[in-house]
Structure 1
Amino acid sequence: MRASRRWLAGPDPWPGRRIAGESVLAVVLALLAAGMQELLGSTGLAQAGTALAVAVLSLLRRRLPASVLVVSGGAAGVLGGFAPLLMVSGWSAGRRIPGAGRALGAFTASYVLTIGIGVALEWPRFSPLSLIMFSTLYFLATTVVPGLASRYWTQRRTLLHALQDHNAQLLRERAMVAGQARLRERQRIAQDMHDSLGHQLALISVHTGALEVDPALTDRQREGVGVLRNASVAAMHELREVVGILRDGVEREEPSPAPGPPPGEDPYPAARGAAGIEGLVAAARAAGNSVDLRRSGDRRPLAAAADHAAYRIVQEALTNAYKHAPGAAITVELRYEPDSLVVEIANGPAPADPEDVVSGGQGLTGLRERARLVGGMVHAGRTESGGFRVAGVLPYGTDGLPPAKVAAAGAAHAPLVDARDDFRQQSPSVPLGNAGPVMDWTAVQRELNMSGGRGSRAGGIALGCGIAAGALVLLMVVGGFALFFLVGSVDKGMIEPAQYEAVKVGTSEEKVRDKLPSGDSFMTSGLQDSGPAKPEGSECLVLASSEYGDSLTSEPVFRFCFRDGKLIEKKSYDVEQ
């Protein structure tokens, strides 16, 4: 049982919803088949057999689409109950038969069987040409059009999936190429900085160290030279950290400082990141400024670039406060939020207007760019009290998030975007390796437009609707001609009962034929040889009645027989179909 169900489902397993849907569809088609057979006068056994066959074929149409289509077409020519199944099998065959040649062969075989069996059963009662025309229209409307629509929809969906996969691959390759280019450029910049600035700073450190021990210097001069030497050493360590970040994006570990600096003094202030903010505050206090440092939340680690950005934000904000508001109280606050570190530096209004302030005007711009590159943002502006405030929001990255949030966030962390500060300049991160594809739907849409014409996503839908509309118009035109032919043919082969009563036996043949239609119609096909025996030596005109018979299987017929130029007999009888 399990093996047969696995074979029935094919390579794609059926989920519970599909099993339920297929079962309901099979039952509905079986009921429709039984109902149509009952209307056609079939026995109960024939109705049950037709319903069972339709249900079985409905379940097999996904696994054997071509076979079910051919069998349904042949059976529809014999039993009208297979008509709904023929429509459904046409839809399934259109999308599931691989190759246009095989699909054309299956539809052609089904059409030939439908037409051939139908004509064989109805001839000579109906004209073969009429049967072929109407059966062709029926097959086109109920089988070919659904099959074409299904095949178009499936091919378009396959094209869309292929374009999505191709676009995801291009995005991954583009991200890899861009990452390699950035890495090479960063390594080049790091090498240039190391070779040029590192050499110059080393010379400054050596010469100032030698000059500091010169006995000819006074104590005041020796103190100034010592300041220069400490500044050059600090600059060398800062350069080493920047070079390390540029090369591989991680902060270099500094060796343990050699004895020499006074206790409590930060020997490498720029190499500490957020941890070095306390040293900045201590240095500001030592210079006579009123600085208050506040912390809140559980401390968490930041990525190297974000950690360095936090230090730079505080450093730049303190420098601005020294220059533009000397003597004003300064507050530095570090808030460890659930998903980011908030660094806020605010100073009160300046007691007096600063004199001879020189500013390049690029400090805050550089801070915004630095924060944007790590997925954060920086806001700067006046406060209500007249002071100035600089606030930065820096994401932790996956290293600083709790395990639950890391699992929820996945491998890629969503960047923080501020519409006013960022102006949609952040690029979406493209995960590499096994992180999964990222869809650039704009690029996918461009590919679809190139392959399907101009316009947006509605272009593909418009094309499909155009094909369906064209097929519908063609069917309407052919149907119009068929209706015109049908009306004319009906007029030639059918009369009212009153016309039959008005004709009198003994009237000349010429007058009778002038009052009656010619009888050259598919309505009279097969009626000539039915009914009572004809009078000997007579020629008869058989016409159908415009009224219905007592049952669906009987048809009222009027017969007029002529001999020697006169109407010698007229009869009204029912012909069993």
Structure 2
Amino acid sequence: MDVTSGIRARRAWLSWEWLKGPERWTRAEVVKDCATAAVLALLGLPLEELTGGAWWRHTLAVVSVVLLTLLRRRLPAGTLVAGAVISGVLPGAFLVTILLAWSAGRRIIGVTRAVVAFTLAFALEVGVGVAAEWSVTRPLWVAVFTTLVFLATTLMPGLASRYWHQRRTLLHALQEHNAQLLRERAMIAGQARLRERQRIAQDMHDSLGHQLALISVHTGALEVDPALTDRQREAVGVLRQASVGAMHELREVVGILRDGVEAPVAVEEAAQPAARGVAGIGGVVEAARAAGTDVGLRVTGTPRPLAPACDHAAFRIVQEALTNAYKHAPGAAITVELRYEDDSLVVEIANGPAAAAEPGEVVSGGQGLTGLRERARLVGGMVHAGPAQGGGFRVAGVLPYGAEPAGAAARGPGDDFGQLAAGLPGTPGMPAPMDWAAVNRELAAGGVRDAGRGSGGVALGCGIAFAAVVLLLIVVVALIALLASSADNAYIAPEEYDRVHVGQSEGEVRGALPNGDSIMTSGMDRKGPVRPMGSSCLALLSSEQPGLNKDRVFRFCFKDGKLVEKQTYEVEQGE
């Protein structure tokens, strides 16, 4: 039982997949298609009623509209041809041809297939219309009128849909091309920056590395000089350790600039103080104390791990604040405090007033505090620097525990500057979007070869559609004028019918009556009672009609130059 149910479910799923075709067909679109079919079916009921259709014709028209609407995605050409045939037989399904033409115009692949499909639909629609109205009116009139209707209700929506879809496809291709150009431009900019970083790294390595190496060598040699006192030897050792640490930092910075990753740590360097993070703050404080500066370190709260970027930022804040204190307040006591609060780490460095006179010239780049603020901002924190109460200076930073550098989520491997993400539409940092109004104007002007073909096709389709509408209006006006002018040739009063008697000569009768040369009486002589054998008949309409859906016909039949029969009968309109 389960296997049978599974097979049935699979068949139903396969049929559903076949029905929706290659397009994405959601439940909302299914509901929209069903609602559209219902509206078209309801609008077609009055057309079927005007022709006096029976209930089964109404039902068949509704079913046809629903089926053609649902199948138009999978079989655009087939439904177009079927709709042309069905609309000629069932007037209630006539309006669905507009929807089928619109759908076929954008879904039929290839110009040749589209031309064949629309030509076949036109031939069948005209042929079915002529066959259905053969006994009612002249075939030429039916062919002309059906052709104009086909132009207005089938060809015009098909052309408009096809070229509108092609225009959308072209604009979408332009958008994708623009996005690709933005990505390529971002990649080129990233490569240019990477080359510049490598150049800067090489310059730093060649210049600063050489100078720091000289400082390390000379301080190492000075440290073992027997002429120095213990106090001097200790100070020289601090300088040597500082130069070695500076070389390690320079190597890491050069590695980051060159490859985007930290430089590997050698085995002999592993014994150096902890990495530049919260764990390394104690070593910085101890080095300052060894240099003779009064520095105190206080830690409150429960220590918690920080994200690498925040950990490094905390170390840099302490390092930069101590450097500023050395420069601007030499000899002053310094306090370093780390407070582990619930949601962030607070790093505070405060120093008192300078114990000695401030030197006249202090070497400073003026970018230290600015760099700290930017570093903290990138990890979601903040830095405040300013005078403290009672004199001195205070630097405080607030750093979150789990923050990552701004834009890290958007960066991919090897994308240090976020350039790849910046090149994607809809992402922060993207260049100004393209002016699509200007693109539309360029397409209309034919500035691009492919775009010119698309805009020319749209203009051609709109021109054909406009010409078809104008031609249809002209024909409708001409038909109205023709009907009005031919009304005198189609109607007689009942009194005129009564004055004519059987046995009168054909010339006398035709001279007293209109000639009946009117589209309104076309085919009326073949309706009603059987005509006398070998006779020719003249059918006219009564000026007094029995109802809205009926016509009263006066028929006069002639044979051998005499009137042999006259009949009056009623005909349902549309028969």
State the shift of 1:369 in Å: 5.5
For the pair 1:446 / 2:434, whether they are aligned, the reply is yes
| TM-score, scaled to structure 1 | 0.70
Alignment map for 1:220-299 (pairs within 5 Å): 221-252=232-263, 254=265, 268=273, 271-281=275-285, 287-288=293-294, 298-299=304-305
Q: Does 1:494 align with 2:494?
A: no
SS at match of 2:94: helix
Aligned runs of 1:20-169 on 2, under 5 Å? 21-22=32-33, 36-123=47-134, 125-163=136-174, 165-169=176-180
Q: In the TM superposition, what whole-angstrom CA distance separates every residue of 1:37-75 from its partner, at most 9, and x where no partner exists?
A: 455333344444444444443333222211111111022
Q: Are the structure 2 counterparts of residues 484 and 346 from structure 1 closer, same or farther at C-alpha, using a change threshold of 3 Å?
A: farther
Q: What corresponds to 2:570 in structure 1?
A: 574
The alpha carbon displacement at 1:114 in A equals 0.9
**Alpha-carbon displacement from aligned partner over 1:268-297 (angstroms, at most 9, x marks no partner):** 57x423432344455567623567555677
More displaced stretch, 313-322 vs 202-211:
313-322
**Which deviates more from structure 2 when the two are superposed, residues 160-169 or residues 324-333?**
324-333
Shift in alpha-carbon separation, 1:317–1:455, aligned structure 2, 3 A? farther
CA deviation profile, 1:503-560 (whole Å, cap 9, x unmatched):
79879xxxx99999986543232235556879x9999683575x765363x3244679
Q: Give 3-state SS (helix, strand or coil) of 1:494's partner.
A: helix
Counterpart contact for 1:431–1:438, Cα < 8 Å: yes
Give 1:18 shift: 4.7
CA distance in 2, matches of 1:236, 1:472: 78
Does 2:560 match 1:555?
A: no
Partners in 2 of 1:501 and 1:487 — Cα distance?
25
State yes or no: 1:214 paired with 2:225: yes
Question: For 1:506-521, what aligned pairs fall within 5 Å after superposition?
Answer: 520-521=517-518
Equivalent residue in structure 2 for 1:300, among 290, 306, 327: 306
Q: Name the structure 1 match of 2:320.
A: 316
User: Tell me, what secondary structure is at the counterpart of 2:99?
Assistant: helix
Match of 1:430 among 420, 424, 427: 420
Map residues 337-356 of structure 1 onto 2, 5 A cutoff: 345=348, 347=350, 356=360
Asked whether the 8 Å contact 2:190–2:417 carries over to 1, the reply is no
Aligned equivalents of 2:512 and 2:322: distance in 1?
115
Provide Cα deviations, 1:106-145, integer angstroms capped at 9, x if missing partner. Answer: 1121112112221232236334454334323332333233
In the alignment, the residues of structure 2 paired with residue 183 and residue 517 of structure 1 have an alpha-carbon distance, to the nearest angstrom, of: 97
In structure 1, the partner of 2:366 is 361
Deviates more, 1:478-487 or 1:287-296: 287-296
Structure 1 residues 42 and 297: CA distance shift in structure 2, 3 A: farther
Q: Which amino acid aligns with 2:320?
A: E
Matches within 5 A, 1:186-201: 186-201=197-212
CA distance in 1, matches of 2:203, 2:139: 92
Matched, 1:527 2:524: yes
Aligned partner of 1:363: which letter? G
Query: Amino acid of the residue matched to residue 480 of structure 2?
Result: V
Letter aligned with residue 551 of structure 2: E
1:561 deviation in Å? 10
Task: Provide Cα deviations, 1:392-423, integer angstroms capped at 9, x if missing partner.
Answer: 7689567x99xxxxxxx996379xxxxxxxxx
Write the deviation string for residues 319-370 of structure 1: whole angstroms up to 9, x where unpaired.
34555577587665566887xx766546589699967464443333444565
Match for 2:21 among 10, 18, 22? 10
- Is contact 2:105–2:159 with CA below 8 Å preserved after alignment? yes
Equivalent pair of 1:335/1:343 in contact (CA under 8 Å): yes
What is the one-letter code of the residue matched to 1:361? G
Q: CA separation in 1, counterparts of 2:478 and 2:375? A: 81
Question: What TM-score does the superposition give when structure 2 sets the normalisation length?
Answer: 0.71
Whether 1:480 and 2:476 are equivalent positions in the alignment is no
Does the 8 Å CA contact 2:318/2:349 hold for their aligned counterparts? Answer: no
2:80 and 2:121 in contact (8 A); partners too? yes
User: What whole-Å deviation, never above 9, does each CA across 1:183-226 have from its counterpart, x for those lacking one?
Assistant: 44434433333333223322222222222222334455544433
1:412: which partner in 2?
410
The separation in 1 between residues aligned to 2:233 and 2:107, in whole angstroms, is 90
Q: Secondary structure at the match of 2:540?
A: strand
CA contact under 8 A between 2:337 and 2:347: conserved in structure 1? Answer: yes
Assess, with a 3 A threshold, how the Cα gap between structure 1 residues 540 and 143 changes in structure 2: closer, same or farther: closer
Q: Cα offset for 1:230?
A: 2.8
SS in 2 for 1:69: helix
Q: Distance in 2 between matches of 1:19 and 1:550?
A: 43
Q: Is the 8 A contact 1:274 1:307 kept in 2?
A: yes
After TM superposition, give the deviation of residue 163 of structure 1 in Å.
Answer: 4.3
Q: Which ranges of structure 2 fall in alignment gaps of 5 or more residues?
A: 1-10, 445-450, 501-508
1: CA distance between counterparts of 2:512 and 2:376?
100
CA positional deviation for 1:84: 3.0
> Residue type of the partner of 1:147?
G
Range that drifts further, 94-103 or 130-139: 130-139
The verdict on how the C-alpha distance between 1:446 and 1:384 changes in structure 2, with shifts beyond 3 A counting, is same
Cα RMSD (Å) = 5.4
- 1:241 and 1:561 map into 2 onto residues whose CA distance is 115
Residue-pair matches, total: 529
Structure-2 change in CA distance of 1:295 and 1:97 (3 Å) = farther
Contact kept in structure 2, 1:292 and 1:331, CA below 8 Å: yes
Q: Give secondary structure in 1 for the equivalent of 2:551.
A: strand
Query: Which secondary structure state, in structure 1, belongs to the residue aligned with residue 306 of structure 2?
Result: coil
Paired with 2:112 and 2:545, the residues of 1 have a C-alpha distance of 46
User: Residue type matched to 2:305 in 1?
Assistant: R
Give the direction of change, closer, same or farther, for the CA distance of 1:197–1:31 in structure 2 (3 Å limit).
same
Q: Alpha carbons of 1:347 and 1:230: their partners in 2 closer, same or farther (altered >3 Å)?
A: closer
Structure 1: runs of 5 or more not aligned: 260-265, 402-408, 415-425
Contact kept, 8 Å, 2:411 with 2:417, in 1: the verdict is no
Q: Which amino acid aligns with 1:362?
A: Q
Cα distance change of structure 1 residues 219 and 51 upon mapping to structure 2, 3 Å threshold:
closer
Which secondary structure state, in structure 1, belongs to the residue aligned with residue 485 of structure 2? helix
Offset, 1:443: 7.7
SS in 1 for 2:236: helix
CA–CA separation in structure 1 for the residues paired with 2:220 and 2:303: 43
Moved more, 86-95 or 351-360: 351-360
